Amino acid sequence: MSKSALKAAIADMDKALRTAYSVFLSLDKNKNGYLEKHELQELLQACDITTNDEECQACLRDLDTNSDGVWDFSEFLSFVGIIYQNKLAKVSKRKGTKKGPKPAPPTRKESLKA
C-alpha cells in the first residue's frame, strides 16, 4: 500500500470510528458513557442477534475486559470487530452456498479462535 493510499485508508477508518462512536452514543440511553445490559440488548437486536437475558449478560461479560459490568467505547469496538469478522467469514463461506443460520452472540473464546 502506498503512503497516500494508507493516508486515505486511515481517513476512512477515522470516519468509520466517528460513525461507531455516534452509534455508541445513541445506544447509551441514560448518557452515562457506558452500555449497560439493557442498552446492549438493543444493539444485539439491531444486529439480528436473538438472545435471552442470560445470553445477553454472557455477551456483556465476555467483552467486559475491565470487569466493571458495563461496556465502554473500546469494549463496544471489540464487539463491532467481532461482528465484522463474523460477517467476513460468513461471506466467504456462503460463496455458492445457501444462507446459513443467524449468528450467535460473540464470546471471547470465539474471538480468540479467529
Rounded CA separation 51/97 (Å): 26
Residues that bind Ca ion (CB under 5 A): 28, 30, 32, 34, 64, 66, 68
Residue number, 26 or 50, with CB nearest to Ca ion: 26
CB 22 to Ca ion: min, Å: 15
Residue number, 55 or 64, with CB nearest to Ca ion: 64
Residue type for 75, please? E
Residue number, 42 or 68, with CB nearest to Ca ion: 68
Alpha helix (H) ranges present in the chain?
3-27, 37-46, 53-63, 73-94, 108-113
